[in-house]
Structure 1
Amino acid sequence: MTRGPDSLEDTQLSDDGAALTAAAAQPDQIARFVVLRKLGSGGMGVVYAAWDPRLDRRVALKLVRPDRGSADAHGRLQREAQAMARLSHPNVVSVFDVGSHRGSVWIAMEYVDGVTLRRWLNQETRSWAEIVELFRQAGEGLAAAHAAGLVHRDFKPDNVLLGTDGRARVADFGLVRPSDSDEGADEAASPRVRGQGQGHGPGQEQGLDSSSLGAERRDPDGDPDLEETAGPGTAGPTAALTAVGAIVGTPRYMAPEQFQREVADARSDQFSFCVALYEALYGYPPFAGTRFFELAAAVTLGELRPPPRDSPVPAVIGRALMRGLSREPAARFEDMPSLLAALRVEASPRRWPWAVASVVVAVLAATTAAWLARGEREPSDPCAKGRAQIAQTWSSTREAELRRHFESLELGYADTSLAAVSQGVEAWSQAWAEAYTETCSTRHEQSAELYDMRMACLAQRREQADSLVDLLAEADAELVRDAPQLVSTLPELDACADVETLRAVAPPPADQAAAVSAVREAFARLEARIGAARLAKVGTELAGLRASVERLGYEPLLAELEQLEGQFARLSDDDAGARAHLLRAHELALGLGHDRLALDTATELIRADNFGPGDQGIELARRWFAIAAGLSRRLGAPPEAELERAWALGRTLTRNLRYPEALEQLGAATRLAEQAYGAADLRTAEIRLGLAVALGDDGRLVEAATELNRVIEVYERRLSADHPLLLGPLRARMALANATGELGAGLDDARRQVEIAEASFGPAHSGTIDALQSLAVTYDLRGDHQQARAQFEAILERSGEAGELRSSLGVRTSNSLCFTLYKLDEQVEARAVCERTLSGAGRIHGPEHPIVAIALNNLALIARAQGDPREGLIHDRRALKICEASVGPDHAYTAYSLVGVGEGELALGHPAAALEPLTRALEIRGRAGEPGELGEVQCLLARAQAGASASELDSAKLLAQTGLNSLRRAGPNWSGHAAACADWLTRR
């Protein structure tokens, strides 16, 4: 029997198939695509340049031959292409669509106009810094694939495309396999063959794969056969490779585990990446061998060739490569981001486009390369003073000052925060120096006016960074805690090279230039303090600056001041003031043609201008979102602006409990952050945390838990296991564990929060109080109500809210205390606490907020316990009305009120009236799957069914037994409900 294609990697052309494909006439159209010309053909099929009329763009269209395999095999092929289509990253060739056409599978991909990385390496001699930068980009693409659960398994320079835009893209994912695939073990039993190139352009028109080096080979001892991809049906000497078993990949770049026919994972890609980078930097591969078995022996035995002694490549990069080339996968870097971080220490990847960076290297080849390699200043360099300027912001001396201050605070997390600060500011400072050098070196290629604008822009950015470092030099415990996140807010530098944006704003009159520059430096200092929420004296200084700005009469400066005043007002809880200032800044910016400032203020107004009655505030936020979208398109949709826009609306919608729309925006923000920063960056983790919390609030608990685990993993890896920035993610994960009945895991996370908070802040800090509340809630859920009561009362006492409630924390704590007292059957005290909670919730959040509904639900429980089900039903119906209006008819909060209404009707002897609300509640809770809440409503609905119709008794008993089983799984907090349900069944 002929074996059909199991996946993308299994599909190949047999000899006769290849001949048929070569002889076939080029089609005019495939599916919706208009075929333009053939780009190449190979083992997997044919690739055409085509036009997609739906997307209105050129694509590379891969047509996989109609194999003799099963329909299931073709289905798997399509599913794997769809998995690649879900991976969106600037350093990965995009898969746009997949489908079938006359028995063949087609895959539409990004058309890349450029050359392979190998061809780029061989076009001319490249500096080590240029090489590392492009490999870093490719590494980011691999990291994104790994984060999506995909493994490449055939990384090499031929499979990296360098577009004319200077961006590297990893291509040829023909061997890709989901990293958790259950087919991985098959690789050790049956041979696999590589599918051909993914994503093509003019640089690859000789075929689907240009893996043979030919004249480009740099290693005099190399063998072209070792450059060919292994697999059955491979022509030439490498065809013999399949005789020894499952060999997947290109021998020269394969990891030891691939030679040994073991499952390849992300660390195998890391090994291949390091082989390719080693070869590019040192001119020969790291393992010797002119024949397959010689190479296999060298790789599996770990016989590394040493780098050349006279190599200009920094030793730290060599050490990173040695680790990535370790024989044992466990000895390599934990993941690609960790490897890239090790390479970044000395290479300082450019944040400016590669094309610009290459100009810098060409113009300043000797001085810049020497400085990048050794960090030394060349006195003869006329642009070297930029490095002297940035040294005033960041140097070993300033780092030592920061270290002394951080250590003086005696905080357990200070070292971790300092390491993150040092790495972030060092990388930013290097990028700033490179931007300065590029601007200086091209001074005579631009007007004096533009040169001055660019230098002024860089000066303002440096002032902002300098102000942040100054703040950190006098940081308190909270600022040290937040330092890793604050460093991520350092200003981006690309705008200083954006000629159109710079020219959009008229420069100040010559006689005012110095004064305007001085005011903007003051703005930079205040912006750093506002960003760090250090607001003392900021209002006074802003008022003083307003007099200077109005005296100068330079309108762009006034718009910038209005923006700062709006930001300050928002952080000072002056919502009306924030809206007024930001609106004036926006209007001024529009009138001046300052589109970037108009975009930024519109984005800020999404957050600030959403406090109208009912849906009015949400509509205002959506309106500002649309305005920001138009301005962003006009500016070319800057990625960071698109991210901020989605994040702002997502957070606003979450606060207003509009979860479906919020999740759409937060998901978009998370994807944009991954593209901009990488999945393992703290900025991405912070945005992912917002997504996870919204998923949990919407009842999508499994998805929320997955995202939270990813967040916590990043924080632990990038910071430490006891850093206080972990408190938020741990609290969210604890809440999810408790909601799903995993009370042991919830208690572990609650105790960990308390340990971290007390070690970081001491016993009376607000962060410690939050952690104690987490612990109290978990005790309560475990059935230890007395311990929970003591914790809740202590929290209210410590926070000064034992009397009047003044904060959201106080309302939440009081609500929890009320419910705990109810469960302890101390109903008189419970009612007093609950009525105080209801009053405070309405005063702080407004009478129609869902937390008011929760307080009403609790009051209804107490009323029924005190023998007044009619009062309870009144409270539950009011709560239901609030929930349906605020969060919608299908929300988890609404289910609480529906259960209360049903229980009230049962208590009043109206089982038929209880059917509708309890049925609705069962539908809502059935989607969430939380066993305790599901079991509760199943048992209540069973009672209603049996009471409404005697003929339904048997089915009602089955439903009640199902509910009882769920309640018993839910843990001790549901023991009372379980006992009541069991008693009802026994009496039937």
Structure 2
Amino acid sequence: MPGAPQDDKTRVEAPPRDDRDSDLPRRIGRFHVLGRLGAGAQGRVLLGYDADLNRRVAIKLLRGSGGAEERDRMRREAQALALLSHPNVVQVYEVGEYADTLFLAMEYVSGSTLHAWVKQHGLREIVGVYLQAGRGLAAAHSAGLVHRDFKPLNAMIGKDGRVRVMDFGLARGELATRSPEENTVMRSATAVLWSGVTEAGSLMGTPAYMAPEHWNGEAVDARTDQFAFCVALWEGVYGERPYAGKTTEDFRAAILGNRRREPPAGAKVPSWLRQVLERGMSGDPAQRWPSMAALLAELESGTPRRRRRFAAAALLGVAGVIAGSRVYDGWRAQWQADACHAAGQEVVTQWEAARPGIEAAFVATDPDGGGRTFARATAFVERFAADWAAARSKLCMLPHIDARWTPELVARADECLVETRSSLESTLGRFAAIDGRAIQHAIVAASALPLPGPCVDPAYLARQPPPPADEQLRAEVLRMRQALRQVRTLGATGRFKEGLAEIRHLVEEADTLGWRPLAALARFDAARFAGDTGDLELARVWLEEAMVLAAETGQDALLAGIVTNLTDVVGVRQARHEEGARWGKLAQAMVVAQGDAESTRGTPTLNVLALLNLDRGQLDEAERLLQKMLEIDMRELGADDLAIAGTLNNLGNVYSRRDRLDDARLSYERALATFERILGPEHPDVALALGNLARVSLSRDALDDAERYSLRALAIREQTAGPESVEAAWAQQDLGNVYLARGEAAKALELLERAAVSTAKALGSEHPEVAFALLSLGDLHLERRDLEKAQRFYTRALGILEASRGLDHLDNAWAITGLGEIALIRGRAAEATRRFERAEQLFAANERPRDAAKARFALARARWLKKATRAEARALALAAAEELTALGAAADRAQIDAWLAETD
């Protein structure tokens, strides 16, 4: 019996190939070749189809990649790029060898290059798409990658409006041996690796975008990419490149001599934007912006500054303002804009100062993987810093250009930004003193930093409870809200017990303060810590208290979150399904009433409802909710967000329950790949997907795969949560079941007993997870023919499951089947028949055709005990054999054939 899974694909046919493509290979690796996208002198870019993941891919096929050392180096860099998951970086799916050459399978983007796109769009749109491209470069830099050849031809904007940077310099070793002149005309095999999927064989190392250090043969780094980015954006907004030239020598002389031409006459580009780009194109890398994140923050803060200048110009035209006043007011507007920009840079500066010490702490804590973890976490921190800087600068200017921004509204927005900044400060403090357990949560902690943008959204602020009128009380409330945000970072870094102890005091402080909206929020946060430490009853009590307080104070958004969490704690985690379903209906109604049913703000409720329906055996509804959630998240977050991985994992659980094992395996593998790319190979969520893959492999009788997945999951669980944790118990149980299937009873017994004890200690003796551990022990003792022990374990497990999940739940069928086997061995035909009939009903009702057929065979063996029903028994066995053949279950069919031969 496989343990419970731990929390759509549509097949498409390949289009017919063109006759002109007859010389193309039919397959490259696991990819079907559909046709050609382009070709260079010595390489091709092909359109491919990945049948496993139902998607088109661009396959870059090299016709001569040098020796083995060169191929190995290029493969390592491609694999490093594949670990980078960001919506603005084209995704590398796979790198491999084909016909003595190298290929890369990459995301296929249908759209146009920025080179073509900018010709049809205005200034604001151009800056917007380049901000996306810049975020892709910044994410790559955080992961330790440098592009080395950024230009408008190497970024595409898809039909979805999303920009992808592509063609990172995977073969810089070969390019380093070439002169710039050679690079300008190079159409070699390696050039195909950089070309866009619609522009194979494009020029490599275009001189117009190369920084001085690149020309001089010096080391290139992220600042080199910044130079190229600013050249490209200058070209986009001005319609011409900043450095004139027709030949390689022209460009070399212009760039090394810092001979930048003046913008074309009449260009409507604000001076602030020109100044930003000129700094990014400084000849000395040290004089450029500190990082791409800093440059992007500057560009983003420029938009409100520009609006301020337009507003200032209008104000200066008011009748009665003398000429001297105009000069003074214009100077004051400039001063105001610069001051606002400087205020926004505080967080960027804070991060830049803290970064070296934090990186050292990560590496010291984990010499092998700390640097990689730090790089992944850094991408989220830099995104937060850039977003906060833009929001803070915007808020500084808003009162001057928008009459809605009264002093009171500005004060509330400022308090919101102070709160969000406290989350960053607390997270950075935790990172600076990081330990071995917390480092496993570092990436999730960084990704959980709050979004600053809503702080400057009047609609969002209007939904928040108004602050106290008393200034002293208002200051205390702000201090407490900051403290709550700081405690949340303890949860984000996995320090749940410490966080629970601290938040208990904050609940008491909030009650003493007497401001009821704060008391509601404190209880909501406290309930999450209680749930994370396993005290589900305390979590329920705090949530119910928070619900009353939130309702009294009109906090509708908080109230919806509270009720959603009640659905989870009561309905899913305490397995009180009917009560949980009532909370779930209320949560769903609140989400609809707030207009969040089709946005990511509503997907947490969809997820909890799906898990509840999965537990209740209502699989159609569970699958519908998860598919809807996947559609919303894909639309708003992109394909490689952590939320997508979680949804894929839960969809795999539904498929597994439905015995759709191929679909379940595919869904789990997709979740695993995303978890590994974003979180790294040793993260607990990676173990989650590995455990589910182990169970699917066990159900498919792929015992070697099941053992491999289980061993890796166990190593992660023991390292991150401890050998006695419930998380380790899950992996111990999976591995024990593998050994049981192999007949290695002694090894299985040790693991399964440890798992049962740890689970009961952590979750209580009546929890369904304990029942799963007992079922495995029942299976083991049945295998050893210790029928007394087996009966005790099955009976106890069945009692827990019926009490927690109801009489008609699928999970009951495993215990009932075990008890039926014991009755069969003891010759109790009537009892065995009754048990197997009930198991068959449960399997059939829950869409488990393979298990239903096996139960039918068990029923045949029970009826064989009576001579009067032996003909019926053989008929049942034959019918079960035919069903298993249709399902492809050859091993199960072989057991029936052997039995039929014995009873003939």
TM-score norm. by structure 2 comes to 0.63
Q: By how many angstroms is 1:736 displaced?
A: 1.5
Partner of 2:117: 117
Is contact 1:880-1:894 (8 Å) kept?
Answer: yes
* Rounded Cα–Cα distance in structure 2 between residues aligned with 1:125 and 1:501: 25
Residues 363/855 of structure 1: CA separation in 2 closer, same or farther (3 Å cut): same
What is the aligned counterpart of 2:568 among 607, 617, 621? 607
* CA 364–773 in structure 1, closer or farther in 2 if over 3 Å, else same: farther
Post-superposition CA distance 1:158-208 (Å, at most 9, x none): 974899xxx65799xxxxxxxxxxxxxxxxxxxxxxxxxxxxxxxxxxxxx
Q: Does 1:500 align with 2:459?
A: yes
Contact 1:278/1:285, CA 8 A, preserved across alignment: no
Indicate conservation of the 8 Å contact 2:155/2:164, yes or no: no
Q: CA-to-partner distance for each residue in 1:522-567, whole Å, 9 max, x for gaps?
A: 3323444455534432453244134234x34xx5435434533554
1:346 and 2:292 correspond: yes
**Equivalent runs, 1:319-338 vs 2, <5 Å:** none
Q: Decide whether aligned partners of structure 1 residues 805 and 275 sit closer, same or farther in structure 2, where only a CA change above 3 A counts.
A: same
Secondary structure class of the residue paired with 1:641: coil
Classify 1:562/1:809 alpha carbon distance in 2 versus 1 (closer, same or farther; 3 Å).
closer
Quick one: percent identity of the two aligned structures? 18
* Alpha-carbon separation, structure 1, partners of 2:152 and 2:882: 48
Query: Structure 1 residues 278 and 465 mapped into 2: Cα distance closer, same or farther (>3 Å)?
Result: closer
Alignment of 1:800-949 (within 5 A): 805=765, 807-842=767-802, 849-879=809-839, 888=846, 897-909=855-867, 910=869, 929-932=888-891, 935=892
Q: Secondary structure at the match of 1:564?
A: helix
Aligned counterpart in structure 1 of residue 485 of structure 2, from 519, 524, 527: 524
**Could you say which residue in structure 2 is the equivalent of 1:440?**
396
Superposed displacement of residue 599, structure 1: 4.0
User: How far apart in 1 are the matches of 2:491 and 2:622?
Assistant: 27
Change (3 A) 1:652 1:676: same
Q: 497, 501, 522: which one pairs with 1:537?
A: 501
**For residue 564 of structure 1, what is the aligned residue in structure 2?**
525
Q: Does 2:595 align with 1:627?
A: no
Task: Give the structure 2 partner of residue 789 of structure 1.
Answer: 749
Question: How big is the shift at 1:863?
Answer: 1.6
Q: 1:387 aligns with which of 345, 348, 369?
A: 345
Query: Aligned equivalents of 2:302 and 2:882: distance in 1?
Result: 58
Deviation by residue 1:886-934 (Cα, 9 ceiling, x = unmatched): x6465766666555444433434535766998799779867864444xx
* Equivalent in 467, 487, 490 of residue 426 of structure 2: 467
SS of the equivalent of 2:617 reads: coil
CA contact (8 A) 1:821 1:827 kept: yes
CA contact under 8 A between 2:308 and 2:337: conserved in structure 1? no
- Structure 1 residue matching 2:640: 3-state secondary structure: coil
> Conserved in 1, the CA contact under 8 Å of 2:626 and 2:647?
yes
Change (3 A) 1:670 1:661: same
Q: 1:540 to 1:472 in 2, by over 3 A?
A: same
CA distance in 2, matches of 1:653, 1:315: 59
- Looking at structure 2, the residues matched to 824 and 619 of structure 1 have their Cα atoms a distance apart, in angstroms, of 45
Matched letter for residue 548 of structure 1: T
Alpha-carbon spacing, 1:380–1:698, altered in 2? closer, same or farther (3 Å): same
Q: Secondary structure, in 3 states, of the residue corresponding to 1:812? A: helix
Alignment partner, residue 358 of structure 1: 303
Deviates more, 1:604-613 or 1:477-486: 604-613
Structure-2 separation of matches of 1:794 and 1:608:
26
Code of the residue aligned with 1:985 in structure 2: it is A
Give the AA of the match of 1:384.
A
Shift of 1:859: 1.4
**1:286–1:305: 8 Å Cα contact kept in structure 2?**
no
| 1:204-283 equivalence runs, <5 A | 249=198, 253=202, 280-281=232-233, 283=235
Change (3 A) 1:345 1:714: farther
1:682 aligned partner: 642
Per-residue deviation at 1:777?
1.4
Q: Pick closer, same or farther for the CA change 1:556–1:760 going to 2, 3 Å.
A: closer
Distance (Å, rounded) in 1 between the aligned partners of 2:901 and 2:243: 73
> Whole-Å Cα distance in 2 between the matches of residues 565 and 876 of structure 1?
46
Aligned to 1:982: 898
With over 3 angstroms needed to count, the CA separation of the structure-2 counterparts of 1:890 and 1:821, relative to structure 1, is closer
1:476 and 1:347 map into 2 onto residues whose CA distance is 27
- Per-residue Cα deviation, 1:421-458 (whole angstroms, up to 9, x for no partner): 33322321222122111211333223222211211111
TM-fit CA distance, 1:386: 4.3
Check whether the contact 2:564–2:587 (CA below 8 A) recurs between aligned residues: yes
1:773 aligns with 2:771: no
- Say if 1:111 and 1:443 are closer, same or farther in 2 by CA, change over 3 A: farther
Partner of 2:693: 733
Task: Name the aligned partner's letter for residue 984 of structure 1.
Answer: L
Inter-CA distance 547–615: structure 2 relative to 1 (3 Å threshold):
closer
Can you list the C-alpha shifts for 1:189-236, whole angstroms capped at 9, x where unaligned?
A: xxxxxxxxxxxxxxxxxxxxxxxxxxxxxxxxxx9xxxxxxxxxxxxx
- Check the 8 A contact 2:111/2:159 in 1, yes or no: no
CA distance in 2, matches of 1:131, 1:879: 58
Give distance in 2, aligned partners of 1:450 and 1:9: 66
Find the counterpart in structure 2 of residue 145 from structure 1: none
Name the CA shift for 1:702/1:578 in 2 (closer, same or farther; >3 Å): farther
**2:500 counterpart letter in structure 1:** A
Residue 422 of structure 1 corresponds to 378
What is the rounded CA distance, in whole Å, between the counterparts of 2:355 and 2:722 in structure 1? 29
Q: Which residue of 2 aligns with 1:400?
A: 357
Cα-to-partner distance string for 1:455-478 (whole Å, 9 max, x where unaligned): 111111122333344445555544
TM-score by length of structure 1 reads 0.58
Which residue is 1:745 aligned to? Answer: 705
Q: Deviation digits for residues 264-316 of structure 1, max 9, x if unmatched?
A: xxxxxxxxx9999697247489999999xx9xxxxxxxx99997775644799
2:811 partner SS? helix
Q: Structure 1 residues 275 and 745, CA, compared in 2 at 3 Å: closer, same or farther?
A: farther
> C-alpha separation between the residues in 2 aligned to 1:281 and 1:699?
53
Q: Which ranges in structure 1 are unaligned for 5 or more consecutive residues?
A: 11-75, 93-109, 141-153, 172-222, 224-246, 257-272, 295-302, 319-342, 366-377, 936-962, 965-976
Separation in structure 2 between the aligned mates of residue 764 and residue 411 of structure 1, nearest angstrom = 25
Paired letter, 2:581: I
Shift of residue 812 of structure 1?
Answer: 2.1
> Is the alpha carbon distance of 1:412 and 1:90 closer, same or farther for their aligned partners in structure 2, counting shifts above 3 Å?
closer
Letter in 2 for 1:498: D
8 Å CA contact 1:406, 1:480 repeated in 2: no
CA distance in 1, matches of 2:647, 2:678: 16
Distance 1:759 1:771 in 2: 12
| Corresponding residue of 2:11 | none
Equivalent pairs, count: 698
